[in-house]
Amino acid sequence: MMSPAARFINLLFATLLLLALGAHAQTAKLPNVTILATGGTIAGTGSTSTTTVGYTAATVGVQSLIKAVPELAKVANVTGEQVFQIASENMGNEHWLTLAKRVNVLLAQANVDGIVITHGTDTMEETAYFLNLVVKSRKPVVLVGAMRPSTALSADGPINLYNAVLLAGSPDAVGKGVMVAMNDQIHAARDVTKTNTSTPDAFKTPELGMLGYFQGNRALFYHQPIRKHTADTEFDVSALTSLPQVDIAYGYANVGPTVVDALVAAGAKGLIHAGVGDGSLAAKVLPSLKAARAKGVIIVRASRVGQGILARNGEANDDALDFVASDTLNPQKARILLMLALTKTNNTRDIQRMFYTY
């Protein structure tokens, strides 16, 4: 017969053992998230804590970014890789191909549940949309950055990174395509855009709406993307080492043919015309666009306005001109879809279908 004291000690040990096992099980249950670091302001440093402009982007390494947010360990088993260390205005097609291939390799591994990509904010929406079209997995891929450098008072990088890791490890994020996590909000790659040069609320999905919020240590969804993405696209970059040259010509009052002519002479295979209004074509530019099309260059009409559907056969007779309408894609995202489209076809009807699909 056990004494009451011995029974109490036995009970105490049994409880401690159960608690320890429970804690272990919880750690083992945490998702595995890989952070791929590419640079940007989230990895930037300024000379003082109040330096929020005139700082240097892309100086802090991925391990330091992770160390700065110990809370990450509570929501995921995090590993980091430094893929590039650049300001995102220097992001190029070759960077995208390298990044996409690495993401696809990692997501094919059973021990990777999601990916976070730290990135400069200037071209984050472009990298996000490119990956949205070429990642071959339904696992979450989340881009994150910061509007203030890591050394600033109220730097937004650490909380943004925490939210991004939370999202990349969330089962609710599976199948939602590539996302952007900024300022406590979740945005879809296709529709998000940077709308402010410097404030922390720069990323918005105007009109079409963001996907959700972060609150109470949870990623909360209210919408989901409708356009096809990731595992459901027809694009495959695994064998590509370059992308077709596609450039953007901007529309404005008094515009002439110089830029279009120069881009075609420089070898563009496709041109995005970022027209005024609903993609209107100035009379002085139209002959150059027609001549470019006659040479085989694919012309996509987009708008510099930022909202709304670019109406096919609206401000121009696209059927007669054999041009393509960008639908709701902004010019910089239309450029990405056209580059990928040109890896598959030169047929404008097929390309128009892609613009209505992705």
Catalytic residues: 41
Nearest distance from residue 97's CB to ligand ASP, in Å?
A: 19
Reference 349, options 325, 330, 316; nearest CA is 325
Question: Per rule CB under 6 A, is residue 57 in the interface with ligand ASP?
Answer: yes
User: Is residue 140 at the binding interface for ligand ASP, with CB under 6 A as the rule?
Assistant: no
| Nearest-5° Cα angle at 140, 195 to 42 | 45
The residue behind tokens 């205005």 is 89
Smallest distance, ligand ASP to C-beta of residue 68, A: 16
- Please provide residue 220's backbone torsions phi and psi, each rounded to the nearest 5 degrees: -115, 120
Contact assessment for residue 319 and residue 337, using Cβ atoms and an 8 Å cutoff? no
If one asks whether residue 157 binds ligand ASP (CB under 6 A), the answer comes out as no
Tell me which residue has its CB nearest to ligand ASP: 120
What are the tokens at 108? 């094919």
Q: Is 87 in the site for ligand ASP (CB under 6 A)?
A: yes
By CB under 6 A, tell whether 160 contacts ligand ASP.
no
Please tell me the distance from the alpha carbon of residue 284 to that of residue 106, in angstroms, as a whole number: 49
Q: Distance (Å, rounded) from C-alpha 88 to C-alpha 98?
A: 15
C-beta closer to ligand ASP: residue 87 or 97? 87
In this structure, the chain runs to a length of 358
Phi, psi for 66 (deg, rounded to 5): -70, -45
Asked if 170 interacts with ligand ASP (CB under 6 A), we say no
Say whether residue 122 binds ligand ASP (CB under 6 A). yes
348 contributes a contact to ligand ASP by CB under 6 A: no
Residue 334 binds ligand ASP (CB under 6 A): no
Nearer to ligand ASP by C-beta: 58 or 351? 58
Residue closest to 300 by CA, chosen among 334, 344, 262, 328: 334
We find the least distance from the C-beta atom of residue 40 to ligand ASP, in angstroms, to be 4
- Both structure tokens of 10: 């036995």
Dihedral-angle region of residue 334 (phi above 0 means left; psi in -120 to 50 means alpha; beta otherwise): alpha
CB of 38 to ligand ASP, least distance (A): 9
Contact call for residue 127 and ligand ASP (CB under 6 A): no
Q: Which of 31, 56, 40, 33 has the alpha carbon at shortest distance from 157?
A: 40
Query: Judged by CB under 6 A, does residue 300 bind ligand ASP?
Result: no
Comparing CB distances to ligand ASP, the nearer of 57 and 192 is 57
In the complex, what is the shortest distance from the CB of residue 131 to ligand ASP, in angstroms, rounded to a whole number? 16
Residues of this chain that bind ligand ASP (CB under 6 A): 40-41, 57, 87-89, 120-122, 145, 147
